[in-house]
Amino acid sequence: MKLKEILQRQLTEAAEKEGYTPHSVVITSSKDEKHGDLSSSLPLSLAKAAKKPPMEIAESIIGKIEIDDRIVADIFPSPPGFINFKINPSYYQSLVSEIIKAGNTYGQSDKGKNKTANVEFVSANPTGPLTIGHGRNAVIGDTVANILENHGYNVTREYYFNDAGRQMRLLGQSVEARYFELVGKEIEFPNDGYEGNYIKDIAQSILDEHGKSLLPSDPLFKENAEKIIFADIENSLVNLGIHFDQFTNEKTFYENGEIDRFLEELKAKNLIYEKDDATWFRTTELGKDQDRVYIKSTGEPTYRVPDTAYHRDKVNRGFDLIIDIFGADHADTYPDVLLALEALGLKTDHIRVLLYQFVTLLRNGEKIKMSTRKANFITMDELVNEVSADVVRYFFIMRSMNSHLNFDLDLATDHSEKNPVFYLQYAHARICNIIKRGAGLGKDFTNDFDSARLTHSSEIELLKTLEQFPEIMSSALKLLEPQDIANYLQDLAARFHRFYVDCRVITDDNDLSAARVALIKATKIVLANGLNVLGLTAPERM
């Protein structure tokens, strides 16, 4: 049980003994040393219902707490109604052995043991290379999957795409136009067609393989383009360290009749009707302000139709948890998918939709203007080649997914400690170097050590930060927000660098050196565990 959980339990039990009913007990780190290490505002939250002064409540609860002096050195109140805890340094010191013993399992849990999760992400249609917009989706999705696996879930990473519809027709027509240009025949380039060298390259590959014999409207143009582009997408994802367990095609649900079936079921419930040559979903019957178009007057379905069939399939596969990673532009459509599933009698409370804001690429402080259709964009491969996969992954999750992201290329290409990725990795590499240097001196610091020797304030502060890692990972599971892990690792690296300045590790005092080597080994373990969940490498030298 983690420290805050222990204190929460003790506070709850003590409050109940005094006749109070605490609904939520929050423990936070104290900002001022005179208020101890941790504190709770529980008395303030109880005061109104109890009709008593918060300080009186604080004192009465403290009187009922059963103190474990191995953990708590002192408990005391402070105005206007806080309960403060001074933690025994020996508790923090004991963490060194615990972390080293746990190794790469420190920060893990079995909360997801014997449970399955499906994480759908990227899901870009194969109409062109992956761009930075797709990249944020990819990294968030893969990192969320890592977080789930860190807590014992059996995760299926899934990619859902559409290889039919208007976009794919335009792709085929664009490649066809470039092909006939190459063979010396002019054909009109489609309105809103896909431009860029990659279209010309696909056309050239078709010419090289099939010669000049192809006729207009040959399905091979679209088929080859899809095959080539999808192979490029998969390769781009591998370059980011991302591998998928399943690829699902939207067209499948038309071919297997699932879309027709669920439309008939909704129609039988009087939730589907025709108006203005279009098919509508009667969402006003389900609490919405207005009905939604399901099939346009052109006969083309909106995204809601195949997406509902797809999600019905996912629900029927029996996952304990289903997670979708969508761009903010899906905010209006996904609730209608959930409504339809509920109308079909399916549960949706295990489906979580994570929306992320979009990305702006900056160079020299200026926004780089991009257009996917015009092909004046920076691909994920180009970005990875310029700044490395580690930097790309970290930059995409170092801000909350709810925030617009400015991807600063100047900072991303900086190889100094200004770059947050290098700052983290340098901490890990520095620890490896210190341990190696100690071993090179012929001193054995690998066996017994006395963690009670770790009494310097910088050592204790580093230990306190290490203690928070399981809590950070637990919170990441609850919120599915990778940014919190990134922020924690930055804080841990800062604590370590401060310790390194204040405390020489390899000294003439072998016992002190052994304790400090053990401390930095524990720090190295936590850094590596956190970096691993974020999908970053933990280099031993830089």
Judge whether residue 510 has pLDDT over 60.
Answer: yes
Distances (CA, A) of 137 to 128, 134, 393, 537: 16, 5, 11, 20
Tell me the domain boundaries of the chain: 3-87, 98-111+417-534
What pLDDT does residue 443 have? 63
Of 267-281, 345-359, 372-386, 469-483, give the lowest mean pLDDT range: 372-386
Residue 32: what pLDDT?
Answer: 86
Check whether 442 has a pLDDT greater than 80: no
Which of 164-168, 213-217, 246-250, 265-269 is the least confident region?
164-168
Give CA–CA dist 173/181, Å, rounded.
12
User: How high is the mean pLDDT of the chain?
Assistant: 94
| Region 4-28 average pLDDT | 93
**Is the per-residue pLDDT at 31 higher than 90?**
no
Residue 106 scores a pLDDT above 70:
yes
Q: What is the tens place of the pLDDT at every residue in 359-386?
A: 999 989 999 877 665 666 788 999 999 9
Residue 268 has what pLDDT? 96
Alpha-carbon gap, residue 419 to 410, rounded angstroms: 9
φ and ψ of 377, to 5 deg: -135, 165
| Sheet-wide strand order for 351-356 | 246-249, 154-161, 116-120, 321-327, 351-356
Which superfamily, per CATH, for 98-111+417-534?
Isoleucyl-tRNA Synthetase; Domain 1 (1.10.730.10)
| pTM beyond cutoff 0.85 | yes
Q: State the pLDDT at residue 377.
A: 74
Tell me which amino acid residue 416 is. Answer: S
Which of 353, 354, 347, 350 has its CA nearest to residue 320? 350
Give the pairing type, strands 321-327 and 116-120.
parallel
How confident is the model over 186-243, as pLDDT tens digits?
Answer: 889 998 899 889 999 999 999 999 999 999 999 999 999 999 999 999 999 999 999 9
What's the 3-state SS for 277-309? CEEEECHHHHCCCCCEEEECCCCCECCHHHHHH
- Going from the C-alpha of 104 to that of each of 94, 113, 265, 478, 527, the distances in angstroms are 18, 17, 50, 21, 10
CATH topology classification for 3-87:
Gyrase A; domain 2 (3.30.1360)
pLDDT for the residue 187: 87
First to last CA, the chain: 37
What is the rounded CA–CA span in Å between residue 388 and residue 289? 47
Task: Round to whole Å and give the CA distance between 200 and 180.
Answer: 11
pLDDT in tens, 302-329: 989 999 999 999 999 999 999 999 999 9
How far, in Å, CA of 223 to CA of 230, rounded?
11
Q: Supply the pLDDT for residue 444.
A: 59
DSSP letter string over 132-169? HHHHHHHHHHHHHHHHHHHTT-EEEEEEEE--SHHHHH
Q: What pLDDT is attached to residue 349? A: 97
Length of the chain: 542
- Which amino acid does the sequence have at 492? L
pLDDT score, position 371: 64
pLDDT of residue 67: 82
- In one-letter notation, the amino acid at residue 252 is T
Confidence at residue 180, expressed as pLDDT on a 0 to 100 scale: 96
pLDDT at position 157 over 80: yes
User: pLDDT higher for 1 or 527?
Assistant: 527
Tokens of 213: 């014999």
What confidence category does residue 164 fall into, taking pLDDT thresholds of 50, 70 and 90?
A: confident
**Taking residues 444-450, what's their average pLDDT?**
73
What per-residue confidence (pLDDT) applies to 328? 94
